[in-house]
Amino acid sequence: FKPYRMKPIAGFTEFVKENADVAYHFITDRFKTEDIESLGELKREEGKVVEYNGQKIAVYKGSDGLITALHPTCTHAGCTVKFNEAEKSWDCPCHGGRFDLNGKVISGPPLKDLPPVDFTN
């Protein structure tokens, strides 16, 4: 082990880029939503983060027409999840956490599921 083998400056640029991207998503995603009047506006097999009745929710409409609503805030670091159309999952852009359509953790770093939202009231 030679102390001079470490080159902290060499990895610094990449470190800053990665963390700037996390900060960008952490801040800007809080303001990005689509306003919808009715959850019926969603197409089948479509997922979106929307503003509905004054609340930000992650909604998915299945092929059967049933709607699943979740809190869109990743339980790891608080970033807003995005719908992954190809994988049919909710993905966190900050650290790569993934959740299934019901909010269950598929892969970490999150350890807790996305809580459901009761949108019937």
Q: What is the pLDDT of residues 15-36, one digit of tens each?
A: 556 656 655 555 555 555 666 6
Bridge partners for 35 per DSSP: 51
Q: How far apart are CA 65 and CA 79, in angstroms?
A: 28
Q: Spelled out in words, what is the top-level CATH class assigned to the domain 3-107?
A: mainly beta
Q: What is the pTM of this model?
A: 0.74
Of 77, 45, 76, 59, nearest to 118 by C-alpha is 59
pLDDT band at 59 (very low <50, low <70, confident <90, very high): very high
Of 45, 57, 39, 54, nearest to 114 by C-alpha is 57
- pLDDT tens column, 68-116: 999 999 999 899 999 999 999 999 998 899 999 999 999 989 999 999 9
Return the amino acid letter for 46: E
pLDDT band at 57 (very low <50, low <70, confident <90, very high): very high
Of 42, 49, 90, 85, nearest to 66 by C-alpha is 42
